[in-house]
Copies of this chain bind each other. A is one copy, B any other.
Amino acid sequence: MNNSVEISKTNSSKAVGGQLADELAKLVFDGSLAPGDTLPPETELATSYQISRASVRSALQMMETLGIVARRAGRGTTVQEFREWNFLDGQVSQWIADYAAPNLGVLRDVFEFRCTTEPLIASLATKRATARDLLAMEDAFNIMEANWERRASLGERECFSNADIAFHEAIYRATHNLVWAQIVHILRPAILLVIKTSNETAEELRESLERHRRLMEAIRMRDSEAAYVAATRILSQTGYDLGFEETPGEKET
């Protein structure tokens, strides 16, 4: 195996084991390695990437803990089925966001999950949000607002999408419930997918911003029903952008 990527001990903030985990995760998430496939043995990975077997084991141990691969003495390391992947972990969702093909089945499930839960989360947030939570939402919203015109250009797009993610994260955290706070990780790949997939016009983006503003205001005013509706509308538009729903969802009273 000839690898295009060098793993360096000094030229990276990450440890060697972590770098190899990134490389292997890329292969798994972009489909080069499918569930059931067997990875090269540790010794081969070590010589191939020119690192020690200890570092290889560190990487594989990490991926095993995250449910992505399974290791058995004497047999080797095999890629696990999707359902075994711990994709509510922050590292895994980051890998999905970075490497996964946009049509990964998980992402449709994530959208359905958001449709079911986010209106309730928004509603719950109206009852729990502190000043600090509102500030986090407002900060994120302001960055979105300041960058929406430049969403088309690739450089600024990341700035906008990070703010979009931060906005929704802030709502999850405003529930002050540890379970919702964990689930927040799935937002990153989910929202990045929308932005990569959809090709919204300037007018549509302005409307999207307005929907976010309404949700934020509803939470600020502790208006539970309004927050529920506002969250539903944002997701309805998201579903339309992803091609999951027919109507843009702006027709309700």
A residues engaging B (CB < 8 A)?
54, 57-58, 61-62, 65-66, 82-83, 86-89, 91, 105-106, 109-110, 112-113, 116-117, 120, 124, 177-183, 186
CB contacts (< 8 Å) of A180 on chain B: these are 113
Say what secondary structure dominates the interface of chain A: helix
B178 close to A82 (CB less than 8 A): yes
B65 close to A113 (CB less than 8 A): no
B177 close to A112 (CB less than 8 A): yes
Among B66, B181, B186, which residue has its beta carbon within 8 angstroms of that of A179? B186
Among B54, B61, B179, which residue has its beta carbon within 8 angstroms of that of A109? B179
B124 close to A83 (CB less than 8 A): no
CB contacts (< 8 Å) of A109 on chain B: these are 177-179
A178 close to B61 (CB less than 8 A): no
CB contacts (< 8 Å) of A58 on chain B: these are 57, 61
29 A-B Cβ contacts within 8 A?
Answer: A58-B61, A61-B61, A61-B62, A62-B65, A65-B65, A65-B66, A83-B178, A83-B181, A86-B86, A86-B89, A86-B182, A88-B88, A88-B182, A88-B183, A89-B89, A105-B178, A106-B178, A109-B177, A109-B178, A109-B179, A112-B177, A113-B177, A113-B179, A116-B120, A116-B124, A117-B117, A117-B120, A120-B120, A179-B186
CB contacts (< 8 Å) of A120 on chain B: these are 116-117, 120
Q: How far is the CA of A109 from the CA of B87 in the complex (A)?
A: 21
